[in-house]
Chains A and B, each alone.
Chain A
């Protein structure tokens, strides 16, 4: 089964994935109309700043077993086995935030959502774009990421590739890790800006 794989080292911090995610979880499904919806659709992937201000795309890992599921006070969190996805049932969630305390990655947010009950805040997180995948599309964040920081692939293949990259970076005289030239440049500009600003 294909999964979204995150490669934080390639992230340029452009936050396009956040926009695409919010749009994919809006009622209208287009960016132009989505910004005018109430409640405003919100992203379920979060690009935070890492320690050196580098971009860090953070999303649900769909853990198995899922700590959030075990902690949910209302039985609102379940696993959709056919998609290897941890889901939150918006109609069962009581917005208690017990799951926020359980999630080791801090990827759950609490707000009213266009796809949830009207007038109630609920827990919201990545659903692996189940609706898009059912229509044969790839997850919205992957589609829009031009830096290669988010890919959609078989987990085996992704693991093999990661192992190769690590092996390469540890032996001399081989190819440098595969970060595109543009990304490397952007990253070094960001780093030097940071050093200049003295933080």
Chain B
């Protein structure tokens, strides 16, 4: 069997490993844009904040491709898929034949539309190379502007604050991480960041940058001019799917997959940040661009490609963040629509340094936000993921002493 995997992020890597477990002799080719050994993408934010060296990013051996007998085709992007002839086209004109194909191309930063983007020291934050440049730019930098209050914008602002810079964050919603957490938790996070020196401007973005070679001023769409030595753009990501023929493979925001992670085209699978599966908590199609989902989707796709049918139960949005003195954990749908018929149970709050926010639909848990004492978060995640009807009063789930044992007996 000839397997081709486009993308050498965690989804592609886990798929290759799964194929190899089931089939020692299959032909595996990996096409990847980045030439660096397989590495932890989330960890680039730890390199930015100075808590981890760049050298610790790789998460597989330097000989990963050799050890798994994979043919690597690195350093260029796939430019097209010929579904009928089962071929992948590369930018340099090469054509690669496949019998089974995995699209694991991840996501690219959502591009910003603004003037002056070609100035130095304006960065996106997605790759090890980006963070290398960011760290180099820290030298002599005093002030930074971060665009976006989502996961990446938040991590960028946090990292730069930890490096001692004066950071201004521009967010369009009222508080950071508004997709992940509810309002109470959002304000607790915001207060913690502000307490550590973050300046926040809500409801604005940047429309232009000025400087003499390097960026010196960010101009907001409210007309404010913010002096700065560097800018990080973290306004979300878009699935990397522009090379996929949309008349042959169903695309929505991401590449639509079925419960075996196969696309609408036979023998072509998708996994990771590029794939759109079903969100368990929201019960609709959704792209959950997250590391644990990418890893397990990669594994499941690989098993299916190698001939062992394995169903994928769906994905969940979930996150853990450490924000100075706060530990924040969120799973599922923290902000249900008013009319969704959900019930919310809460305890704690800003003055307690402890907060719990559970969202239930009938007796099924669909969302959780926890601040501090997050060790039992996985138990709650498992209840959401497996849609286990909650027979206990939900108040028990929000007490500090809650543990797995309480679910039994």
Q: Which residues of B contact A94 (CB under 8 A)?
A: 43, 46, 51-52
> Is A74 a contact of B408 with CB atoms below 8 Å?
no
Cβ contacts B37-49/A at 8 Å (1 or 0 each): 0001011001000
> Is A52 a contact of B409 with CB atoms below 8 Å?
yes
Task: Answer yes or no: A96 CB below 8 A from chain B CBs.
Answer: yes
5 additional A-B pairs beyond A75-B59, A105-B404, beta carbons within 8 Å, are A70-B292, A74-B56, A96-B322, A102-B381, A104-B379
> Is B60 a contact of A101 with CB atoms below 8 Å?
no
> Is B405 a contact of A102 with CB atoms below 8 Å?
no
Cβ contacts B370-394/A at 8 Å (1 or 0 each): 0000111111011000000000100
Interface residues on B, range: 35 or more
> Is A8 a contact of B378 with CB atoms below 8 Å?
no
> Is A71 a contact of B396 with CB atoms below 8 Å?
no
Q: What separation, in Å, do the CA atoms of A102 and B295 have in the docked complex?
A: 12
Q: What separation, in Å, do the CA atoms of A81 and B75 have in the docked complex?
A: 35
Set B46, B56, B60, B320: member contacting A97, Cβ < 8 A: B320
Number of interface residues, chain A, beta carbon within 8 A? 34
Q: What separation, in Å, do the CA atoms of A72 and B408 have in the docked complex?
A: 27
Task: Answer yes or no: A108 CB below 8 A from chain B CBs.
Answer: yes
Cβ contacts A114-129/B at 8 Å (1 or 0 each): 0000000000000000
Shortest C-beta distance, B184 to chain A (Å), equals 20
> Is B403 a contact of A56 with CB atoms below 8 Å?
yes
Binding site for A on B (CB under 8 A): 14, 40, 42-43, 46, 51-52, 56, 59-60, 291-292, 295-296, 299, 318-320, 322, 327, 329, 331, 374-379, 381-382, 392, 396, 401, 403-406, 408-409
> Is B375 a contact of A58 with CB atoms below 8 Å?
no
Given contacts A94-B46, A97-B327, A97-B329, contact A50 B408 (CB under 8 A): yes
Given contacts A70-B299, A74-B40, A96-B320, contact A50 B374 (CB under 8 A): no
Shortest C-beta distance, A51 to chain B (Å), equals 5
> Is A58 a contact of B403 with CB atoms below 8 Å?
yes
Cβ contacts A47-62/B at 8 Å (1 or 0 each): 0111110101010000
> Is B320 a contact of A51 with CB atoms below 8 Å?
no
Q: Identify the closest chain B residue to A103 (Cβ).
A: B378
Q: What separation, in Å, do the CA atoms of A65 and B296 have in the docked complex?
A: 10
Task: Answer yes or no: A176 CB below 8 A from chain B CBs.
Answer: no
> Is A51 a contact of B59 with CB atoms below 8 Å?
no
The 6 closest A-B pairs by CB, nearest first: A56-B405, A75-B59, A48-B403, A104-B382, A71-B292, A103-B378
Binding site for B on A (CB under 8 A): 8, 46, 48-52, 54, 56, 58, 65, 67, 70-71, 73-75, 92, 94-106, 108-110
> Is A98 a contact of B320 with CB atoms below 8 Å?
yes
> Which DSSP category, helix, strand, loop or mixed, fits chain B's interface?
mixed
Q: What separation, in Å, do the CA atoms of A70 and B404 have in the docked complex?
A: 21
Q: What separation, in Å, do the CA atoms of A96 and B49 have in the docked complex?
A: 13
Q: What separation, in Å, do the CA atoms of A92 and B40 have in the docked complex?
A: 12
Given contacts A8-B408, A71-B295, A96-B322, contact A49 B375 (CB under 8 A): no
> Is B378 a contact of A102 with CB atoms below 8 Å?
yes
> Is A104 a contact of B378 with CB atoms below 8 Å?
yes
Q: Which residues of A contact B403 (CB under 8 A)?
A: 46, 48-49, 56, 58, 106
Q: Identify the closest chain A residue to B39 (Cβ).
A: A75
Q: Which residues of A contact B299 (CB under 8 A)?
A: 65, 70
Shortest C-beta distance, B245 to chain A (Å), equals 31
Q: What separation, in Å, do the CA atoms of A101 and B377 have in the docked complex?
A: 5
Given contacts A73-B42, A94-B43, contact A49 B405 (CB under 8 A): yes
Set A50, A71, A99, A105: member contacting B409, Cβ < 8 A: A50
Shortest C-beta distance, B394 to chain A (Å), equals 14
Given contacts A71-B295, A100-B377, A106-B379, contact A50 B327 (CB under 8 A): no
Given contacts A94-B51, A97-B329, contact A8 B375 (CB under 8 A): no
Q: What separation, in Å, do the CA atoms of A105 and B377 have in the docked complex?
A: 9
Given contacts A97-B374, A105-B379, contact A74 B327 (CB under 8 A): no
